[in-house]
Chain A
Amino acid sequence: MAEIRLENISKAFNEDRVVKNISLTIKEGSFTVLVGPSGCGKSTILRMLAGFEKQTEGDIWIGDKLVNDLSPSKRDIAMVFQNYALYPTMTVKGNIEFGLTNRKVPKKERQQLIEEIAGIVGLTEHLNKKPDKLSGGQRQRVALARAMVKKPKVFILDEPLSNLDAKLRTQMRAELIQLHEKLGTTFVYVTHDQVEAMSMGDEIIILNQGVVQQKAAPIEVYENPGNIFAAEFIGQPPMNVFERKAFAETLEGVPEEAHYIGFRPEHAGISSAAVSVPHTIELESEILALETLGAESIYKVKNRIGVMNIRSFSAPLPKHAICFVSIPHEKLYPFGADKAAGPELNLSVKKEAALNGID
C-alpha cells in the first residue's frame, strides 16, 4: 500500500505536449480511475507511473520514495496490460511463477503462493494450460494473478476489460471491486469508458488534452461537474449544454457570469400534454429520434432552445409527435465563460431565485 504523488508532471513527445503540468495525489488504498477520451494522456500518465516512459518534467513519488530514476522493476508495482501480455509459451502456472523465480523465491514458497492466488482468481483447474487454450475472461484472471502474486504496493491496470464482451465485462467489474476490497492495495485504473469509471472508482480523475478536468468521487462528479467537459463526459447520454442566450428568451435574471447552462437528460420530464409546473421551463418540442431500451427511453428532441437528449423512464411517446419537455430550475447547471463551474456560480441556493428573476 502506498500513496502516489505526481508533482508538476509534463510529458512531451518531440514537440507534442501530451501531459501538461499535472499534480495529483492518489490516496493510499484507493481505487482511482483515470478516465478520458483517447489521446487525453491517461495511458501516458500510467506508463510514466510504471516507469516505461520518463516524464519530461516533474517528480513521481510512490509512498515515500522518489521513483523518477527507478526502473519499472524497482518501483514495487504490478501492471495488468490491455492485451494481458501473458507469456504465450508458458503455462498459466509458468506465467504466475515467472516473476517469483526471477526474484529467487524458494520453490516451496512459490508453490504455496501460486496455489493461494489461483484459488482467489479461480484458476486452480487451469494451471497447466497455455494461455491460448483459455477464454478471454480466464486470460484476464491469469494477468491479475500474475500481478497479485508479487504483492505489490500499487496495482496499475491499463484498460483491462476492453477486450472482453459486455456480459463478461460487467462480471469482471464486480470481481475487480471485490478484489480491491480484499487486497486493500492502491489501484490505479485507466479506462475510456465512463461507466467503468463511475462503477468502480473511489475517485475519478477526468482528463482531457493532458490536463486534469476534475478529480472527485464518482457521485460528486455526477452531481457537481467541475466544468462543461466533465459534465458532458460523465452521464449517458451526456449533459445538454446551451449558451445562455438560448435560455434568455425563456427566463430572465440569469446571472451575467453564467455563459452556459446545462441540464442532465434524466432530469428533464417529457409528456404529451403541457403540465405547467411552477419553477420549471416548459418547451414545446418535436421528437426527432427515439431509442427504446426497455426500462428507459432516450429521446432526441428539437425545440426553440436547440436539439437536446431527454431520458425518460415512462412509457415511450410516438416518434415525430409533438411533446412537452419540462426542466426544473433546480436541476440547471450554470457554467462560466471559461466553461468552468465556478463556486460563485454554484446556484444551488440562489439558483431558483436567479433564474426566476427575483434575486
Chain B
Amino acid sequence: MALIKASMEVEQRKAERRSLVSWANVRPYAMISPAIIVFCLFFIYPIGYMIYLSFHEWNFVSPTKEFVGAANFTYLLADRDFREVIVNSFIYTFASVFLTISISLLLALWLNRSGTIYSFMQASIFSPHIISLVSVSMLWMWIMDADYGLLNWALNLIGIESVPWLTSPDYALASLILVAVWKGIGFNTLVFIAGLQSIPKDLYEAAELDQTPPWRRFLRLTVPMLSPTLFFLTIIGLINSFQVFETINLMTAGGPINSTNTFVYYIYQNGFQFFKIGYASAAGVVLLVILSVLTVVYFKVLSKRVHYR
C-alpha cells in the first residue's frame, strides 16, 4: 500500500515537472503572442490578401472573385495615368524630402543657440507639426485660393500677378510640395537641433584651432556628426511622402488633369471610387515593391557612411 502511494507521488511529481518544463518553453512565445497576433492580423494578412486580390477581378459586392492572372499588372503598366502617378509620386517625394531636409538643416543651424527669440522661433516653426493634416489642407486651400487667397493677395501687393496655385496643372504639384515642406520643417528642424546639440563643443574648438573655414567645418564636421539624424529623417521622409494622401484628397483630388495624383490616392480612387479592387491591389503591390527597394538600397548604400557614436 505504502509502495503504491510512494510510486504515485513520484508519478505526480514527474508530471508536475513535465508541465513546468513545457510552460518554461512556451512562456516566451506566449509573452510575444499579443504583438505577433496584432502584427499578423493588421500587417501580414492584409499584405497577403492584397497580393491575392491583385490577381483577381472584384468589385467589393460580387460574391465571386474572378482570377485574371497578371492581367491587372499588365494593364497597370500600360496605363498612361499610372505612369503619371509614378512620376508625380517620385517628384513629390524627392522634392519635398530634399527641400524639407535642407531648409530644416539651415534653420537648425541658425536656431541652435540660446535666447528668447530663438526659443520662440523654434516653437513657432514646430507648431505646424501638431496641426492635423486635414486642418493644414483646409488652411492652405484658403491661403492658396486663386481669387481671394492670402498668398495671391500678398503677391499682388508687391506687383506680381495672381498664381493659380491649385487649379493649374503647372502649379498644383508644386503647391502640394510647398504644403508638405511647411508642415514637415518643424519636426525636422527640432530633430536637427537635438542632433547639433549632441555634437561636443570642443570639436568645434579644435576645428577653430585647426583654422577650419566655415564651409569645410560644415561639410567635414557637422554633416558627418549629424549623419545618423540625416539618415533617420530622410528614410522617414521618403516613406511618409510616398504615402501622401490627406492633402491630395482634400486640396486637389488628384487633379487638375491627374497632375497631382500619387500612389496612395490613385489606389484609393480605383479601389473605393471605381471599385476596381483587383486593379487597386496590383497598384498597392507595386508601391510595396518600390518602397521596399528604396529602403533596402538606402540602407545598403548609406548605412556604411553613417557615423554612430
Asked if A and B bind, the verdict is yes
A binding-site residues for B, Cβ under 8 Å: 50, 52, 71-73, 77-79, 81-83, 85-90, 98-99, 102-103, 146, 150
A99–B307 Cα distance when bound, in Å, is 21
Is the CB of B66 closer than 8 A to any CB of chain A? no
> What is the CB-to-nearest-CB distance from A101 to chain B, in angstroms, rounded to a whole number?
9
Flag if B307 contacts A102 (CB, 8 Å).
Answer: no
Flag if A85 contacts B224 (CB, 8 Å).
Answer: no
**A90 contacts across to B, CB distance below 8 A:** 220
Flag if B224 contacts A89 (CB, 8 Å).
Answer: yes
Closest B residue to A130 by beta carbon equals: B307
Identify the stretch in B205-213, B232-240, B291-299 within 8 Å (CB) of chain A at 4 or more residues: B205-213
> What is the CB-to-nearest-CB distance from B305 to chain A, in angstroms, rounded to a whole number?
9
Knowing A79-B206, A102-B210, say if A88 contacts B309 (CB, 8 Å). Answer: yes
A53–B209 Cα distance when bound, in Å, is 14
Flag if A79 contacts B209 (CB, 8 Å).
Answer: yes
A272–B236 Cα distance when bound, in Å, is 77
A89–B221 Cα distance when bound, in Å, is 8
A146–B206 Cα distance when bound, in Å, is 10
Flag if A73 contacts B208 (CB, 8 Å).
Answer: yes
Flag if A89 contacts B205 (CB, 8 Å).
Answer: no
Flag if A103 contacts B211 (CB, 8 Å).
Answer: yes
A231–B85 Cα distance when bound, in Å, is 82
Flag if B210 contacts A89 (CB, 8 Å).
Answer: no
Flag if B212 contacts A50 (CB, 8 Å).
Answer: no
> What is the CB-to-nearest-CB distance from A88 to chain B, in angstroms, rounded to a whole number?
6
Flag if B209 contacts A78 (CB, 8 Å).
Answer: yes
**Dominant SS at the B interface?**
helix
Kindly list 17 other residue pairs between chains A and B, CB separation below 8 angstroms, not including A89-B220, A99-B210, A150-B209: A71-B208, A72-B209, A73-B208, A77-B209, A78-B209, A82-B202, A83-B202, A85-B205, A87-B221, A88-B225, A89-B221, A89-B225, A89-B307, A90-B220, A98-B207, A99-B209, A102-B210
**B227 contacts across to A, CB distance below 8 A:** 89
Contact with A along B218-256 (1 / 0, CB 8 A): 001100110100000000000000000000000000000
Closest B residue to A83 by beta carbon equals: B202
Is the CB of B200 closer than 8 A to any CB of chain A? yes
**A86 contacts across to B, CB distance below 8 A:** 206
Flag if A98 contacts B220 (CB, 8 Å).
Answer: yes
Knowing A98-B220, A102-B216, say if A85 contacts B203 (CB, 8 Å). Answer: yes
Closest A residue to B206 by beta carbon equals: A85
Q: By CB atoms of chain A within 10 A, which of B205, B211, B212 has the most?
A: B211
Name B200's contact: one of A85, A103, A150 (CB within 8 Å): A85
> What is the CB-to-nearest-CB distance from B173 to chain A, in angstroms, rounded to a whole number?
37
**B225 contacts across to A, CB distance below 8 A:** 88-89
Name B212's contact: one of A79, A85, A102 (CB within 8 Å): A102
A347–B185 Cα distance when bound, in Å, is 74
Flag if B203 contacts A87 (CB, 8 Å).
Answer: yes
**B212 contacts across to A, CB distance below 8 A:** 98-99, 102
Flag if B213 contacts A81 (CB, 8 Å).
Answer: no
Closest A residue to B204 by beta carbon equals: A85
**A150 contacts across to B, CB distance below 8 A:** 209-210
A198–B40 Cα distance when bound, in Å, is 69
Closest A residue to B203 by beta carbon equals: A85
**26 A–B contacts from the bound complex (CB under 8 Å):** A50-B205, A50-B209, A52-B205, A52-B208, A71-B208, A72-B208, A73-B210, A78-B209, A81-B205, A85-B202, A85-B203, A85-B205, A86-B206, A87-B220, A88-B309, A89-B225, A89-B227, A98-B207, A98-B212, A99-B211, A102-B210, A102-B211, A102-B212, A102-B216, A103-B211, A150-B210
Contact with A along B170-205 (1 / 0, CB 8 A): 000000000000000000000000000000101101
* Contact residues, B41-71 vs A (CB, 8 A): none
Flag if B206 contacts A81 (CB, 8 Å).
Answer: yes
Flag if A102 contacts B213 (CB, 8 Å).
Answer: yes
A79–B225 Cα distance when bound, in Å, is 21
> What is the CB-to-nearest-CB distance from B250 to chain A, in angstroms, rounded to a whole number?
44
**A83 contacts across to B, CB distance below 8 A:** 200, 202
A22–B227 Cα distance when bound, in Å, is 44
**A52 contacts across to B, CB distance below 8 A:** 205, 208
**A50 contacts across to B, CB distance below 8 A:** 205, 209
A87–B212 Cα distance when bound, in Å, is 13
A78–B202 Cα distance when bound, in Å, is 13
**B221 contacts across to A, CB distance below 8 A:** 87, 89
A78–B210 Cα distance when bound, in Å, is 8
